[in-house]
Copies of this chain bind each other. A is one copy, B any other.
Amino acid sequence: MSALSEIPREDFAFYINHLRALSVDCVQAANSGHPGMPLGMAPCAYMLFAHTLKFDASSPDWFDRDRFVLSNGHGCTLLYSLLHMCGFDQLSLSQLSKFRKLGSCTPGHPERGVTAGVEVTTGPLGQGLANAVGMAIAETHLASRLNIKGEDELIDHHTFVFCGDGCLMEGIGQEALSLAGHLGLDKLVVIYDDNQISIDGSTSLSFTEDSQSKYASMGFDVYAIENGDSDYSKIQEVLLRAKHARNKRPKFIALRTTIGFGSEVAGSAKVHGAPLGPEGVRLLKKNLNIKEEYLDKPFSVPQEAYAPYHLAAMKGKAENARWQEVLERYKTLYRNSQCHERKLFEYVFMNANTMSFIDAIDSSILPKEPIASRKASEIVLGKLIEMSPFLIGGSADLSGSNLTIVGEMKKCSFQKDSPQGRYIHYGVREHAMAGIANGIVAHGGLIPYCGTFLNFIGYCLGAVRLSALSHLGVVYVATHDSIGLGEDGPTHQPTEISAVLRAMPNLLLLRPADSRETLECWKIALQERSTPSVLCLSRHALPSLPSCIEDRVIIEGVSKGGYTLCTKGKLSMKPSIVLLSTGSEVHLCLQAADELIRNNYLESLSVVSMPCLEKFRLQSSDYQITVLPDGIPVLAVEAWTSQCWAEFAHAVIGIDKFGCSAPQTDCYKLFGVTVDNIVKKSVELLKKFQYERAPSKKLL
């Protein structure tokens, strides 16, 4: 860093302008994309990557790298260009030229897992802010638990995030920053691209709050840079000050820039999201003093322009090498220690299969008497927390309702002065909670679970979608999972949210029917590290599944997503009907099955529990047919929308209305989710198919 002051001003401009040119070439080649932000933010991006950020281009996943998040993800050509300039192998000029093309590693918005150096998937605004807060939480927490006093710090990195006015207008951004201020995450640096232009035009149309005093009131150190276009030394000074101030306050840098800097439409909304056109690009490059020989050659960069980026990359590589030595020292220290955190260290740094223990947790920890599945979850969690030091919990201010806070967590939560706490009081901030949990997984080293009522998954759907899209195995603990919550009424009773969770790719909705199923669902959620899970848990007590059902049946059955719980009546006969259900309604089906047999409505039937449709769909059709035999009518029973069951069932008892404020039993009766109605519907269904096979429901 010492050589920085020696770089001549015009050289800064040279390095920055080639970054700009490259970003704009991408947009022009795709004839689609967002040139405005990269042109405005290039100076700060340069200062950050070339002179501030700790990274190793040859090892993009280096654990102690600084994290960089582009929350205003539409400006991704800036990031791709930076990664190219810094020498990230994957980002060749050829890949840059394939921006927004099928199969490239340069998609239209940054996608985690597609591009090395892209930490998180952004584009939906505000998400990146929450992700960055999650990363800063993870860093702070792991540092406090794993760094050893008197030794070099094993974990010591920063999280930088770029955002625009859009991210700051979004609720998720506000929730996340409010929590960041509360938690005093001083290694989080938020850089606000204050270009005073949003898509609709000037921000004076919709966004005129005094950001600087606002973020100060929220616990941030606030810095202002009046001229983000060319006051390079100020940018650098502020970045370094913000990075090094360890004062339990996160940093907010208001950086005044010109959107589309250097182009003919600079400073206007026109340059936000439309290519400049070939002539516009040429003019821009001229304005940026790009040499004549490069003017008409897109994706051409003079070798000299790489110099500071390569220098930064070399510096980072050396830092990583030094850090590897520190890591080796820690390995020795931890190997010879029996300290509590050894297991965490091994999980984070030694790829230890620390998850294997969960198979050993068995039903002996569970009571036999009826308990709510949220209560069963609490018991399971008590055990998990004890045995898995990488778990970090939380709830959006419903800890006592979600039953997500267990054991030692009750004594010490993650706070400014207790970063070692393993429980996050997210406050009533569901959307940020989910986005932060995404950031924690993306950071690495920890598995977050977080709680809210199932219906309020609707408040954080934007972030849940990104868990699924970016393969982040967040565990959502969603209690109060039906009208069974009773008196709180329709505003709190989920009926239709299951439809989108089940339709969402790469997400598991798990709805256990009793304690033993809850245990197995938790195991699945923890083992699926690239797929988020939503555990749907009852508020009210559920009986245990009959004790005659062996543990191994439940274990295998839940792992397959659905299984025959029991066959009633003449076991030798094919069932006349299948009652198919999930969660609390499974018990109604079991009772209805007894009624049907007792009243001689039929001679044999089976009851199927299907806690996870997504898993069941993955099974062989041989297995599926053993559960839902061809030609046998199926009645599905679930206190949610019937939409999800048309695929499997010939009739559904569901709820295609909003719920009702009333005691639980009144609610169930009102909507016909009762033993009597199951019996009645079963008889109707039997009658309908008495002379014919029930048709296959399978879609072609």
Contacts and interface: CB of A to CB of B under 8 A. Distances in A.
Interface of A: 30, 32-33, 73, 100-103, 107-109, 111, 121-126, 165-167, 169-175, 178-179, 181-182, 198-201, 205-211, 213-214, 216-219, 395, 397-401, 413, 415, 425-432, 455-456, 458-459, 461-462, 465-466, 468-469, 486-492, 495-500, 502-506, 641-647, 649-652, 656-658, 660-663, 666-667, 670, 681, 684-685, 688, 695-697, 699-700
A469 B109 CA distance: 35
A197 to B, nearest CB: 11
Contact of A487 (B108, B427, B685): B108
A123 B488 contact: yes
A656 B469 CA distance: 12
A121 B491 contact: yes
B505 A502 contact: no
Contacts of A468: 658
A506 B487 CA distance: 22
A123 to B, nearest CB: 4
B666 A102 contact: yes
A100 B495 contact: no
Contact of A699 (B430, B505, B649): B649
B214 A217 contact: yes
Given A427-B206, A643-B503, A646-B646, A124 B491 contact: yes
A47 B401 CA distance: 34
A644 B643 contact: yes
Nearest to A208: B182
Question: Interface centre among A167, A206, A211, A401, by most B CB within 10 Å?
Answer: A206
A643 to B, nearest CB: 5
A209 to B, nearest CB: 5
Question: A-B pairs with the 8 shortest C-beta distances?
Answer: A171-B171, A695-B695, A651-B700, A206-B427, A107-B661, A500-B500, A499-B503, A123-B491
B487 A663 contact: no
Contacts of A681: 700
A401 B684 CA distance: 51
A489 B123 contact: yes
Nearest to A74: B488
A656 B107 contact: no
A178 B505 CA distance: 34
Nearest to A648: B646
B492 A123 contact: yes
A114 to B, nearest CB: 9
How many protomers of this protein does the assembly include?
2
Contacts of A645: 699
A390 B487 CA distance: 38
Given A503-B496, A700-B650, A214 B218 contact: yes
Contact of A458 (B126, B432, B465, B502): B465
A661 B32 CA distance: 11
A451 to B, nearest CB: 11
Contacts of A642: 699
A662 B206 contact: no
Contact of A696 (B399, B491, B695): B695
Contact of A425 (B32, B200, B643): B200
Contacts of A401: 199
Given A198-B427, A458-B500, A500-B503, 7 more contacts: A169-B429, A170-B175, A170-B459, A171-B459, A210-B217, A210-B218, A505-B658
B397 A489 contact: no
23 contacts: A33-B487, A102-B663, A108-B489, A111-B489, A124-B459, A170-B171, A170-B428, A171-B432, A172-B459, A174-B175, A199-B399, A206-B426, A210-B217, A213-B217, A214-B214, A461-B461, A469-B490, A469-B491, A496-B503, A505-B658, A506-B658, A650-B700, A651-B699
A440 to B, nearest CB: 17
B205 A641 contact: no
A14 to B, nearest CB: 31
Contacts of A198: 397, 427-428
Nearest to A498: B503
Contact of A124 (B178, B456, B643, B700): B456
A209 B215 CA distance: 9
A338 to B, nearest CB: 33
B32 A487 contact: yes
B109 A209 contact: no
Nearest to A122: B491
B169 A427 contact: yes
A549 B687 CA distance: 43
Contacts of A495: 503, 505
Nearest to A424: B206
Nearest to A103: B662
Contacts of A108: 487-489, 492, 661
Contacts of A644: 643
Question: Interface centre among A200, A207, A398, A666, by most B CB within 10 Å?
Answer: A200
A196 B517 CA distance: 39
A582 B498 CA distance: 23
A700 B683 CA distance: 12
A206 B565 CA distance: 44
Contact of A656 (B427, B456, B498, B505): B505
A209 B217 contact: yes
A661 B486 CA distance: 44
A30 to B, nearest CB: 6
A96 to B, nearest CB: 14
Given A413-B205, A490-B111, A657-B505, A169 B124 contact: no
Contacts of A73: 491
A300 to B, nearest CB: 24
A516 to B, nearest CB: 29
A377 B123 CA distance: 26
Nearest to A124: B491
Contacts of A652: 699-700
Nearest to A125: B428
Question: Interface centre among A461, A644, A645, by most B CB within 10 Å?
Answer: A461
Contacts of A172: 171, 459
Contacts of A506: 658
Nearest to A694: B695
Nearest to A123: B491
A505 to B, nearest CB: 5
Nearest to A98: B662
A192 B108 CA distance: 42
Contact of A179 (B206, B646, B663): B206
Contacts of A502: 499, 643
